[in-house]
A and B are shown apart, each in its own frame.
Chain A
Amino acid sequence: MNAIIALSLFGISSLFLGFLNNRKILLPATLIFILFVLGLNFADWNHEYLWFNSMLRTNNLSINFTTVILISTLLVVAISRGFGDDEEHSHPAEYYAILMFSVVGAIMMVTYENLIMLFVGLEILSVSMYVLTGSDKRNLRSNEAALKYFLMGSFATGILLFGVALVYGSTGSFDIHGIGLAVKDAKSQMGGVYGPILTAGVIMMLVGLLFKISAAPFHFWTPDVYDGAPSLFTAFMSTVVKTAGVAATYRLLSTAFPDMYGTWGNPMIYITAITLIIGNITAVYQQSFKRMLAYSSISHAGYLLITVLAKRPETNSSILFYSLAYSIATISAFAVLIVVSEAKSKAGKPDESFDALNGLSKNNPFLSFVLTISMLSLAGIPLTAGFFGKFFIFTDAFSNPSGIFKGLLIVAVLMSAVGIYYYFKPIIAAYMRNGDTEKIELSPIFKYTLILTTALTIILGIFPDLVKNLF
């Protein structure tokens, strides 16, 4: 768990780096920091350790989730381009520092053993995100988004904390393994009938977590916040925050409350179905590429929840594979969105509608190709990682014998078909519609990052075993 300590120290040191007059050093320095932490992360491989007085527990699963989170962060930082030179973003060092601090929170969310750590991790992550959402100071929408996110988010965290308190009250433990044992005892003594306090606690904790991964019906903040935040941080939110949230939910349900499946199973299945339907159907009607990606992230939360609920030994690797495939493709898409929308700014504001992509392939064949592969991956079409992500999820879901789960599967399949509709809009705009986009100059590091994400998406789409076996 030295990763957390190292990352915090690096966060502070990058603040100090900001005092140097050389801004160019920040981006490479941050990349090196994160790569170092990524290496450090594997020090605990194959050892299950308790850290900090049993506050955190590392195992291979948590290390893998940390890896996915760090890779996503690395990619997001790599496409940050040093946050520009304008007055607006005059403090790049602070952004990098906040990003690193928020990753500390995300790592705590995937390694927590004590529920207090879940809460603390969630808060570190959330507070950082509130700040970053509002970082576009002079943009009204960014301010609105930050305020909205803050109000709704703190409300949700409050509910989570209330849930933690109730669970503690009925089981006498903050420790998820301890809670798991207490619930098991309760099950054997009372035959599956739990007290109202415990039930309410579980439900409230889930509500808090589902809010963070923007599952319907707790998703109302998502489109506005994702739309208002600067695109780079939206990319961060829809990948790192989502992965951490799903991992935390999975850890909670599979460690503390597996014996209460009867209580949370069916509600979660309905929530997943609603998430899939709302995310996909609403995405169809969007005119803005960025807003479409926001709804797409809601729908992917739904797919991820399917495996969380499937209860199969392979679930671990399925979630990991899916989050990795999803994160890489999403970051690719946002990278293209960022450069294209800036090149096509309207009245000083970046143009984030689909129309901005019109005719992109004429002068920017590379960007169009990157966009196409990322969209195909999000849509789950073969030859891309996203297909195998979906494939593993469907396979997991089939192994759950309950009838209601089969219904969920049908919903998921239908919604995948709907997904293709809106994921093809950007591709059609880029290749088939007429428009004029100047040749967009990309910095080397930005270009190589896109080559990397696209290559990874295709390689994982042909040889999923390369990664699936690691997890």
Chain B
Amino acid sequence: MSGKLLAIENLTVSFDGFKALNNLTFSMDPGELRVIIGPNGAGKTTFLDTITGKTKPTQGTVHFKGQNLAKFKEHTIAKMGIGRKFQTPRVYLNLSVRENMGLAYNQQKSLLKTLFPKSNGGEKDDIAQLLEIVGLLGKANSPASLLAHGEKQRLEIGMLVAQSPDLLLVDEPVAGLTDEETEKVGNLLIQLAKKHSILVIEHDMEFVRQIAQKVTVLHEGSVLCEGTMDEVQSDRRVIDVYLGNQED
């Protein structure tokens, strides 16, 4: 367990006999920016589901900061410091952008603290600063339902940062974005990686090349290979199952 932020050992998750994850072993150091790629059905989203506690492991263990996550529920895991961004942007449509950020920023998540909040002087400035970074300050007071798709993506990343977790899980952050927006998000992630550990799942190879230090390839529920982008790209097995398909 020594010093690893996230350590996953022999993880298997099966749905009615179908193994979405198969004997998967994986670990991440603190401060790392890791990208996971893999063809459809490789188990990427199930992988995130298991880390965040939505799906429980059939076998194997997930350790975060040395603690076994098996017995915790989603909200406890989130409070321990794992934040997650979903594949499709999921923000609270009937709240304003600022309120969305506020709910994520708030660190006192118990019932009583929510009913009787202690005033936090820094909150307003911090949120304004974050909104500036994700480029939504101008829309801080409009309801999130009026945002465009890309803006929702950025808002959700902003919320993730506001939550200030130790580990950010980011599921396909640039799906459906324009090239320009993609680059923006990429820079944002690289910025964030200086202070946080980030695990990104992505399909977009250009984007992966832009941000990745280390890449893990999943295939059929197991780790196929791991390394820098160049190493991964020259790996025969990877080309067979994944990159080869792209070049057809």
- Do A and B interact? no
Interface residues of A, Cβ cutoff 8 Å to B: none
Interface residues of B, Cβ cutoff 8 Å to A: none
